[in-house]
A and B are shown apart, each in its own frame.
Chain A
């Protein structure tokens, strides 16, 4: 062993030592970054729970019974006497969501079937990215579209016009929300349909089935868990959508099942209060956190359900 060998070895050792330390540091740093997402979840949950607690506390101090939250059929947190029948805004949310689903689910599923089963590769390569542009349009633009394009069209189409269909209504907001959700349903359903192995299709053709029969009785049932999960995620998206309903569905917290009338959703309520001059620590201020908590629970349950569906009913090929 010469001296130069020794010094080379020492330099190697030193560098090896530094590399190992660097690895350890980065391992722990990236670990911290990854677990930061847990902090966000805990943060959201803590904030919503704590502020909802303050909300109930304020209610008690004002002598308002908290049970009316489940029984009252009026939602007037900003007026005297305040009423907190949360069912009113939940129904408003469900109504716009149901209208959106009537549009988005069949259209999205049929688009997925067309793209994966029928479209020639070249057409698919053109249509798919264009369809994805729909998902990239900001929701405030869809709100503008619902309020200023679809509502006037509806007022012209529906007999009775302005007198039966309000300028702000659940139908046009829900319809446009449906258009916004189409790409979500289409892309998730297409993933599920695309994953069905060709062997199943070919087996069906071998028995003499046509393409339509194969699609309806072999491909869709095989992809059903993914499709159902896509549908549930679509509902969750509709429940949490904010800007379309704030612009086009209106601010009328009235229990009403006429889609041609204005409704208030949970999200539109939060926007309404946020835009006003509500003093912090007032009852109305805490009400948006309570409303947010209800919304969070609804979407959380839907998201867990979608996930469970995929895991539980996924077919193993």
Chain B
């Protein structure tokens, strides 16, 4: 009888080695798949920096675009992106955080209309960004023209704010949901209304999470190109909005207007100014045939990536800052 056991033991061992090998091979393949994307990220960054760094200097950041690649700068696009960076949250954050508060704190989630609301928001998050460009073109450029004056900063900011709204809602909801139930119940127990519990207890605790999520959503909006192109943002802008500092150059790149104005009137005018933004300028330069413009485009990408890294750092910093207090 014992004779029978020995071969099967041998059999198991040999079989085990083969199966163990399969595990190791599989793990190796999975590891390389994970590295695959990172390899191309590295290649992308390497190429952008080797092409763009020779063009990337202070002059590039402070001059207007030009027909001549060696003179071309990114000033109007950078200023346009910075304007958008301050305008988008103005619309998207109150709306998005408010919606998140309603859905997490007030809404009865078993009601059919609130379930539809949830499905609707997750569906909106899946709508391609270029469709938001078509929405912006019709709604903000054409229907609301008396207010926005057409293809302007205001129309662009509204379009991008609409685009990131679902993302802001989803990330704010997650931050609010992470606040423990006990906090609310303790507040109700001492006689708080629902709003007082939200305002004095839930929101301060969720603040770090909300801020991080919304800044990340904003950094997505700053990189969006397609909706602004559909909206009709211009690709060549040789002036700055009339607030707080105006400059304009003529076709030779000579400054023809320069003034400082801080009035409310010029601020409103600025909102109604045609604009361009970093990704549009990058797209414009990259799609030209001359290799010199490709280098200028790479320099523009460096500026855009620096802006995004700065925004992400702010998000991480704020989260660290607020988490320490808890």
Contact = CB atoms under 8 A, between A and B. Distances in A.
A210 B301 contact: no
Interface residues of A, number: 89
Contact of B30 (A22, A118, A274): A118
- Most central of A117, A137, A302, A304 by chain B CB within 10 Å: A137
Nearest to A35: B117
A41 B127 CA distance: 10
Interface in B119-150: 119-124, 126-135, 138-139, 142
B166 interface: yes
A265 B96 CA distance: 32
Interface stretch (A66-74, A83-91, A138-146, A255-263): A138-146
B41 A144 contact: no
B26 A115 contact: no
Contacts of A138: 222-225, 279, 304, 308
Given A118-B31, A296-B127, A38 B101 contact: no
A296 B193 contact: no
A79 interface: no
A299 B41 CA distance: 27
Contacts of B232: 274
- Most central of A30, A44, A133, A179 by chain B CB within 10 Å: A30
Contact of B195 (A19, A34, A211): A19
* Interface class of chain B by DSSP: helix
A302 B126 CA distance: 9
Contacts, number: 266
A270 B123 contact: no
Nearest to A275: B229
Contacts of A292: 130-131, 134
Interface magnitude class on chain B: 35 or more
Given A131-B37, A149-B44, A240-B131, A34 B98 contact: yes
A257 to B, nearest CB: 24
A149 B138 CA distance: 36
Contacts of A48: 131, 134
B272 interface: no
Contacts of A182: 36-37
Interface stretch (B3-11, B15-23, B206-214, B246-254): B15-23
A134 B36 CA distance: 11
A114 B33 contact: yes
A110 B34 contact: yes
Interface string B69-108: 0000000000000000000000000111011011101110
A60 to B, nearest CB: 21
22 contacts: A26-B198, A26-B199, A35-B117, A111-B36, A114-B30, A114-B31, A137-B41, A137-B44, A138-B224, A142-B44, A145-B40, A145-B43, A211-B27, A242-B225, A247-B287, A270-B130, A270-B133, A271-B229, A275-B229, A292-B130, A299-B128, A300-B123
By Cβ-Cβ distance, the 4 closest A-B pairs, closest first, are A240-B128, A138-B223, A110-B33, A33-B98
Interface of A: 19-20, 22-23, 26-27, 29-31, 33-38, 40-41, 43-44, 47-48, 51, 106-111, 113-115, 117-119, 127, 130-131, 133-134, 136-145, 147-149, 176, 179, 182-183, 186, 210-213, 215-216, 233, 236, 239-243, 246-247, 267, 270-271, 274-275, 280, 288-289, 292, 295-296, 299-300, 302-304, 307
